[in-house]
Amino acid sequence: MGRLFGTDGVRGVANADLTAELALGLSVAAAQVLAPARTPTTGGSPVAGEGEHRPVAVVGRDPRASGEFLEAAVVAGLASAGVDVLRVGVLPTPAVAYLTGALGAGFGVMLSASHNPMPDNGIKFFARGGHKLADELEDRIEALYRDHAAGQPWERPVGAGVGRVTEYGEGFDNYVSHLVGVLPNRLDGLKVVLDGAHGAASRVAPEAFARAGAEVISLHTEPDGYNINDGCGSTHLDGLRAAVVEHGADLGVAVDGDADRCLAADAAGNEVDGDQILAVLALALRDAGKLREDTVVATVMSNLGFSLAMEREDVRLLRTAVGDRYVLEEMKRGGYALGGEQSGHVIVLDHATTGDGTLTGLMLAARVAATGRPLADLAAVMERLPQVLINVRDVDKNRVARSEELAGAVLEAERRLGQTGRVLLRPSGTEPLVRVMVEAADEEEARSVAAGLADAVKSALG
């Protein structure tokens, strides 16, 4: 049996891979690992009565229909393990992370499969302070769950030791107030189209932008439990791009289902990707004296054009493995303020413990408002070099690092591209495939090199 935890929590098809039984069991195990001491929380629990020392967990979800029964299972598991639960309802993943820290909770739980299609769902845990779990903590939770599945009984409290469950409706306003409060300036005079992906930010994003002063046109903000990410949001930008042009907006912002990432569109309807957003925010923070060490953190998948732009602007770029958790680890290690991924998962560490699509969109709009420059002009700080990505399936991804044949093919491709391009081969962390990425100054050359490497992967690993 493979590892339950992937690169971003536990995910699968709801009620098939991710069952109520699994959700309940993982929640009990998480309670034992993340809040074992049964000590009072530092923030003062809105649940526990006077003299009670039960730990507290914040639980939220996105609008997927399956989130209803999975949330019930998680809440039952936590309460049965002696944890008081604050149910915040449908809120973005970064909202649950923020509230976990702001309320002094022992940990947080988010039910969402992010940008995945509706049938999927997932469970993500946050440690005290709203931080993602280290691998070691995930391994301990999984080990406890597997021990129980093998027949080892849980130790369960009884009587006054069981947890209590409270609806925490103030979470929405607390989070929106936080978002607006950290902006460097207001958005008065801006017209912004917001695509909520029929997801967790469908109420949050329009409210936050409106409170910050923008004129808001809402798009795909009517979740019904089934339409999340369905042809909309940050993975399907056509609707946003067309709406920006139709309404004569200054810019558009699209989040994904759990709103931990965002992409944008300029006034002409052109896509502004995560690298461009990161470049704009890096210069904004630098100009404000808040880009610590004049350093930004990105992954190996960030466009070569981003690297060249940062070099030209005297901003140091540190690259990590693919995954926002690795970006965050490097940011914490060096105390850096800004990092992110090409997908639009941007972390502003002074204001958030994880990627926050609504916050990112707000800060991008704030830069437009502060400078009076169109988003297209700001994004032009970097030129996106042609980047070709091929997913090679039906190969043994675990042999990528050990294949001499493949290493030779990569070396030859790098010689062909020289200083004007880049090659990256990596096994997917979530799917049974190998990703081939090639960048070059010329798109045809990038496609040619990528196709050759894809053939080499099939030959060496098939």
- CA 135 – CA 138 distance, rounded (Å): 5
Is 258 among the annotated ligand-binding positions?
yes
**Mean pLDDT value across residues 57-64:** 98
**Mean pLDDT value across residues 74-79:** 98
**Mean pLDDT value across residues 183-188:** 98
Tell me the pLDDT tens digit for each residue of 313-322: 999 999 998 8
| Residues paired with 271 in a beta bridge | 265
Is 70 exceeded by the pLDDT of residue 41? Answer: no
Whose CA is closest to 81, among 135, 148, 19? 148
| Whole-number average pLDDT of the chain | 93
- CA 49 – CA 53 distance, rounded (Å): 9
DSSP state string for 152-199: PPP----GGGS--EEE-TTHHHHHHHHHHHT-SS--TT-EEEEE-TTS
Tell me the pLDDT tens digit for each residue of 340-365: 999 999 999 999 999 999 999 999 99
Tell me the pLDDT tens digit for each residue of 203-213: 999 999 999 99
Query: How much is the pLDDT for 426?
Result: 86
Helix/strand/coil for 374: coil
- At 441, is the pLDDT very low, low, confident or very high (cuts 50, 70, 90)? confident
Is 90 exceeded by the pLDDT of residue 56? Answer: yes
Query: How much is the pLDDT for 53?
Result: 79
The more confidently predicted of residues 53 and 81 is 81
Positive or negative torsion for Cα 362, 363, 365, 370:
positive
**Mean pLDDT value across residues 375-393:** 94
- CA 437 – CA 391 distance, rounded (Å): 9
- At 48, is the pLDDT very low, low, confident or very high (cuts 50, 70, 90)? very low
Parallel, antiparallel or unpaired: strands 262-265 and 251-255: antiparallel
DSSP state string for 399-453: GGGG-HHHHHHHHHHHHHHGGG-EEEEEE-SSSSEEEEEEE-SSHHHHHHHHHHH
Question: How many angstroms from the chain centroid is the CA of residue 8?
Answer: 8
CB 275 within 8 A of CB 382: yes
**Mean pLDDT value across residues 119-144:** 95
- CA 112 – CA 123 distance, rounded (Å): 6
Is 147 among the annotated ligand-binding positions?
no
- Lowest mean pLDDT across 57-66, 77-86, 380-389: 380-389
Kindly list the structural domains of the chain, giving each domain's residue range(s) and its CATH number in brackets, ordered by start.
Answer: 10-169 (3.40.120.10), 174-379 (3.40.120.10), 387-461 (3.30.310.50)
Could you tell me which residues come within 8 angstroms of residue 152 by beta carbon, excluding any fewer than 6 positions away?
none
Tell me the pLDDT tens digit for each residue of 239-297: 999 999 999 999 999 999 999 999 999 999 999 999 999 999 999 999 999 999 999 99
- CA 323 – CA 266 distance, rounded (Å): 26
The more confidently predicted of residues 456 and 45 is 456
Tell me the pLDDT tens digit for each residue of 5-36: 987 899 999 999 999 999 999 999 999 999 87
Query: How much is the pLDDT for 248?
Result: 98
Is 260 among the annotated ligand-binding positions?
yes
Query: How much is the pLDDT for 419?
Result: 78
Residue 183 C-beta-side C-alpha neighbours within 13 Å: 27
**Mean pLDDT value across residues 217-226:** 98
Taking the CB of residue 131, how many other CB atoms lie within 10 A of it?
17
Catalytic residue among 66, 114, 302, 343: 114
The more confidently predicted of residues 45 and 226 is 226
Question: Which residues in 175-188 are b (16+ Cβ under 10 Å) and which e?
Answer: bbebbbeebeebbe
Is 114 among the annotated ligand-binding positions?
yes
Q: Is 114 a catalytic residue?
A: yes
Rg (CA), the chain: 23
Is 70 exceeded by the pLDDT of residue 104? Answer: yes
Could you tell me which residues come within 8 angstroms of residue 50 by beta carbon, excluding any fewer than 6 positions away?
none
CA angle 302, 308, 310 (to 5 degrees): 85
Amino acid at 49: G
The percentage of residues in the chain with a pLDDT greater than 90, rounded to a whole number, is 82
Is 80 exceeded by the pLDDT of residue 194? Answer: yes
Query: How much is the pLDDT for 33?
Result: 96
Query: How much is the pLDDT for 4?
Result: 93
